[in-house]
Structure formats: C-alpha cells, structure tokens
Amino acid sequence: MDNTETCNITLVGKTPSINHIVRNDLSLKVIAVTSGNGGSGKTSIAINLATALSHTYGKVLLIDANFGLSNIDVALGLHPKSNIRHVLSGKNSIDEIAIQGPADVQILPAAPYDPNLSSLNNKEYLELIHLISQYSTPTNYVVIDTPSGIGNDVTLINQSASHILVLINDNPSSLKRAVALIHILKRIHKKKMFLILSNKVRSKEHGEFLFNRLREKCIRYGLDEHLKYCGCIHRDENLENSLRSQKTIFENYSRCNSANDITKLAHSLSYISNPDSDGGIELFHEHRLQLDKVYKA
Ligand SMILES: Nc1ncnc2c1ncn2[C@@H]1O[C@H](COP(=O)(O)OP(=O)(O)O)[C@@H](O)[C@H]1O
Ligand SMILES: [Mg+2]
C-alpha cells in the first residue's frame, strides 16, 4: 500500500465519548512535534511543551510515537511496565499503559526496542492510531513526539494530528528536510497548515531569519502560504542540562530563556483554533467531531 491509499480512510470505533472535553471553553487539540531531521529538539520540546500546557491550559496526553525505539521514558527516567507493544498484542488496553509524568502529564510509552514497531505497514499504522484513539481519560491537549524524516512512520502520525509543529534550526540540512516533509504532508496527506518553530536560535531575529529562509524555499512548491510562524526557542544549555538530569526545564530552571519561550509557545497554541477536517485519518477523530458539534451548537 502506498501513501496515497491512506488518505480517505474513515475509522469506525467505539461510540464517541464526550470525556475529552473537560472545560467548556476548550476543544481537543492534537499537536505533532516533528521535523525532517534528527537532533532538532523534538523530544525536548514535546516534553516541555506538554508540561507547560498542563501547568496552565488543561489535561495533557503525551504520546511517544517513536513506537519501536522509545525516547520519552529515557528522557524522563521513567520505567513503564508496559507500552504500546502490549496494546498491539492485545495484552493491555491503551488506558492501562498510560503512566503519569511531570506536572500530571499522562504519557503513552513506546517500546524500548522493537524493530517490528519501527517498520509498521500502513494498515498496522492505522490500526495503531485507532487503538490510541480509544484512550478514554479526559484530555484537552495531545502532544506527539514524532520520529524524524519523511518515511511513512513520520507522515502518517503527522497526518493524524490537528496541528503540525515543524521544528527548524540552522543545521544545513534542516530547512531542506523541512521543505520535503511539508511538501509530502501537503501533497499526499492534504494538510493545509504548518506551524513553524525555530529552535536553538541565538536571538529572536535569528529565529525569524530561519523562518524567512524556509518560506523562500517553499515558494517554488507553492507551500509558503501554508506556513505560520510560531516563534522561537533560544539555544539554552539549561534545556540540555535539564534533560540530562531527566527533568523538565520547569523543575530546575523555570526562569531561563528556553522556559520562557516554551511558556509563550504553549500560550499561543492554546489560542489556535482547530482546522476543518482534511478527510484523512485523524487521532481521536470521533471525539473531535463530537466536540465540534458541541461548539457549533
Ligand atoms: N533549545 C535548545 N537549546 C539547547 N539544546 C537543545 C535545544 N533543543 C534541543 N536541544 C538539545 O539537542 C539535542 C537533541 O534534542 P532531542 O530533543 O533529542 O532531538 P530529537 O528528538 O529531534 O532527535 C539534545 O541534546 C537536546 O538537549
Ligand atoms: Mg527524539
């Protein structure tokens, strides 16, 4: 099965529950933190963004979508007894594998190492997204730490999100790979909006400069109008040090540059509205539909 065949699949799942709304003024947002290249800061930003959202804006579920080679448990020094592999094998339900992380964030752990889970075919991927969507604890934000690259594992998980946050930095390959990822997600998966975050920047101007370079590169593919700049995260050794000690930035260095940047990012994401459905496979599809109805009523 190639990518194009996955776009219009509609899932039939268990009866949608309204559990996913916990405050009347909030809808469920599913934010994929992604990039075309490794080492761009996805795991660091996903963990800290989830924490910042949980501090102020509602209940958060953090998904480690590096399904066959877990990131988040290692980054936070957690030792989950079960993980997504046990859900796929039918041993556990999705609710049973969730563990509590910092600031009350709920985490869905990936397998420590399972090559089969790193190379799921599209059908298995869709099944996995379906199973994750059965998670039943009230939630306002789902933050997904995606793998890197432009393979199916990356594009399908991005397809399933309501918001795609693409990280860029001044690594020579970062912009090129970001363009490729955005191009595939737009052309094949019909995604229409890409939130861009400049990471590891020297200054606010440096962040804007990187975004403008990305926009220029996107013009030739007609993608520039689909980008929305979300600001920047300063290069900050406190962020590195915090994760080295398996903590979030807010635990030890809550007043540093990167903590302020991540707090601002959480604030802007709390205001961004959900786009209309693009017709593709979506995580929590039925919950989101249900919430839209509540909103528009
Ligand atoms: N804003 C930042 N400032 C300093 N170091 C950062 C920043 N963001 C990420 N890092 C560091 O970059 C490295 C890669 O980050 P990681 O989150 O593992 O990337 P990815 O998940 O994209 O592979 C880690 O050492 C992390 O501490
Ligand atoms: Mg990572």
What does the pLDDT read at residue 75? 97
The residue written with tokens 């190639």 in the block is 2
pLDDT for 157 equals 92
Pocket test for ligand 1, best of 42, 43, 44, 210 (most atoms within 8 A of CB): 44
The protein residues having their C-beta less than 5 angstroms from ligand 2 (an ion) are 42-43, 71
- Domain range 28-296, its CATH number among 3.40.50.300, 3.30.465.10, 3.30.420.40, 3.40.50.800: 3.40.50.300
Q: Give, for 249, the enclosing helix (H) or strand (E).
A: helix 249-252
* Residue-level pLDDT at 199: 98
CA 156 – CA 14 distance, rounded (Å): 22
DSSP string of 155-179, one letter each residue: HHHHHT-SEEEEEE-SSTTHHHHHH
Q: Considering every ligand atom shown, identify the ligand nearest to the alpha carbon of residue 37 and give its number.
A: 1
Please identify, by atom number, the ligand 1 atom nearest to the C-alpha of residue 44: 17
pLDDT confidence of residue 172: 86
* Residue 39, Ramachandran bin (φ over 0: left; ψ between -120 and 50: alpha; else beta): left
Q: Which residues pair with 194 in a beta bridge?
A: 164, 227
Residue 32, pLDDT score = 97
Domain range list for the chain: 28-296
What spacing in Å lies between the alpha carbon of 40 and ligand 1's midpoint?
A: 6
Strands lying side by side in the sheet with 163-168: 99-100, 106-108, 60-64, 141-145, 29-34, 163-168, 194-201, 227-234
Three-state SS for 135-147 is: CCCCCCEEEEECC
User: Ligand 1 centre and the CA of 25: distance in Å?
Assistant: 33
Asked whether the beta carbons of 82 and 96 are under 8 A apart, the reply is yes
Other C-beta atoms lying within 10 Å of the C-beta of residue 78: 16
Q: Which residues line ligand 1 (CB under 6 A)?
A: 35, 38-44, 199-200, 233, 235-236, 239-240, 243, 258
Name the strand (E) or helix (H) holding 95. helix 94-97
Counting ligands in written order, the one closest to the CA of 42 is: 1
Per-residue buried b or exposed e for 266-277, using 16+ beta carbons within 10 Å of the residue's own CB: beebbeeeeeee
Ligand 1 closest atom vs CA 235: 3
The C-alpha angle with vertex 254 and arms to 257 and 175, in degrees rounded to 5, equals: 40
Instruction: Give pTM, 2 decimals.
Output: 0.89
Residue-by-residue pLDDT tens, the chain, 297 positions = 333 322 222 233 333 333 443 333 457 899 999 999 999 999 999 999 999 999 999 999 999 999 999 999 999 999 999 999 999 999 999 999 999 999 999 999 999 999 999 888 888 888 898 999 999 998 999 999 999 989 888 999 999 999 999 999 999 899 999 999 999 999 998 899 999 999 999 999 999 999 999 999 999 999 999 999 999 999 999 999 999 999 999 998 888 999 999 999 999 999 988 877 766 667 876 665 555 555 555
Question: pLDDT at position 118, please?
Answer: 84
Index of the ligand 1 atom closest to the CA of residue 45: 17
Q: How far is the CA of 57 from the centre of ligand 1 (A)?
A: 24
Ligand 1 mean position, distance from CA 39 (Å): 6
Following CA atoms 236, 241, 246, 251 in sequence, which dihedral angle do they give, to the nearest 10 degrees?
A: -70
Q: What angle do CA 159, 164, 170 make, to 5 degrees?
A: 125
Q: How far apart are CA 8 and CA 92, in angstroms?
A: 29
Q: Which residues does 12 contact at the CB level (< 8 Å), separation at least 6?
A: none
Q: At what angle do helices 257-271 and 42-56 cross, to 10 degrees?
A: 70
Sign of CA dihedral 21, 159, 31, 231: negative
How many Cβ atoms sit within 10 Å of the Cβ of residue 121? 10
